[in-house]
């Protein structure tokens, strides 16, 4: 994925205007110079009736991604790999690396492994309209992400920020990472919506490059950890429920009966509880 795109997502630029998936936003200096109405979200000036000839495109965040946070943290030390009684085994490393490549992507040069801003999936699309600033409105199908954060969709409109320019009508398939839902205010140029001023709320994606699950990629990952790179992965682990002892139910004695009453446990599913754990890799 383009280094520029990752920079736009992860940090603000110091320029007077900062480009992003949502167009251009003001710098902190410009925001400080603008008058305030004293009400959060209120416009500092009197509302102006919308111009019927307005054809500008406005993209703003609507529903940002809310990734589940890890409840526990543990450390995977490369120095303890395959030592007696250590959980750092080759099999565990392979399992964690498989989860790692589902949550990380490669930079434009293919040298760095960086966290994906959102769930990763495969998108089949047809370009409907060029919204400008490298953003496209596409009609697409995509599969659910491996982490379960993004459900599948069919024949849905979405906003795509591709790595390379694409023309209206182009078809393709790309690996993308989601950045949440955005609100798009624009005038469609395609049937049957042509000429109507609309506001659509749709999922937004950025085209990216996956980390291949190969021996070479895993060795590169290990070399980065040994050189001091701060890498981690979040996995969902299942453990026996303490409330019911892993049975999935509790017992309650019944007067005059030999059999106890079984009450389904409300703290687990079939005797197991899911705990999200962040594993940090160290040399």
pLDDT tens-digit series, residues 235-280 = 888 889 988 888 888 888 888 888 888 888 888 888 888 899 999 9
Choose between 65 and 83: higher pLDDT: 83
Q: What is the pLDDT of residue 79?
A: 93
Q: What is the pLDDT of residue 21?
A: 52
For the residues 148-163, what does the mean pLDDT come to?
A: 90
| 2 contacts: CB under 8 Å, gap ≥ 6 | 108, 163
pLDDT-derived band at 110 (thresholds 50, 70, 90) equals: low
pTM of the model as a whole: 0.66
| 275 contacts: CB under 8 Å, gap ≥ 6 | 71, 72, 236, 237, 238, 239
Other beta carbons less than 10 A from residue 97's beta carbon: 18
For the residues 149-155, what does the mean pLDDT come to?
A: 89
Q: Is pLDDT of 108 > 90?
A: no
For the residues 199-210, what does the mean pLDDT come to?
A: 90
């Amino acid at each position: 994925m383009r280094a520029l795109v990752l920079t736009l997502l992860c940090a603000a630029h110091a320029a007077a205007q900062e480009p992003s998936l949502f167009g251009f936003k003001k710098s902190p200096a410009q925001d400080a110079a603008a008058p305030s109405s004293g009400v959060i979200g209120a416009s500092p000036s009197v509302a102006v009736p919308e111009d019927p000839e307005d054809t500008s495109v406005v993209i703003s965040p609507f529903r940002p991604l809310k990734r589940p946070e890890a409840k526990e943290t543990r450390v995977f030390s490369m120095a303890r790999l395959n030592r007696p009684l250590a959980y750092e085994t080759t099999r565990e490393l392979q399992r964690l690396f498989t989860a790692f490549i589902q949550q990380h992507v490669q930079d434009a040069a293919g040298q760095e492994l960086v966290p994906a801003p959102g769930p990763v999936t495969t998108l089949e699309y047809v370009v409907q309209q060029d919204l400008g600033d490298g953003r496209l409105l596409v009609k697409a199908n995509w599969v659910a992400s491996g982490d379960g954060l993004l459900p599948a969709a069919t024949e849905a409109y979405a906003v795509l920020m591709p790595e390379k320019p694409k023309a209206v009508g182009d078809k393709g398939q790309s690996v993308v990472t989601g950045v949440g839902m955005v609100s798009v205010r624009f005038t469609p140029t395609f049937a049957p919506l042509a000429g109507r001023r609309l506001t659509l709320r749709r999922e937004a994606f950025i085209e990216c490059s996956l980390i291949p699950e190969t021996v070479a990629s895993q060795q590169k990952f290990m070399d980065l950890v040994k050189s001091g790179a701060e890498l981690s992965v979040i996995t969902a682990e299942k453990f026996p429920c303490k409330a019911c002892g892993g049975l999935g139910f509790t017992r309650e004695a019944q007067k005059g009966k030999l059999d106890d009453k079984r009450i389904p446990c409300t703290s687990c599913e079939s005797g197991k509880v899911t705990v999200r754990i962040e594993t940090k890799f160290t040399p």
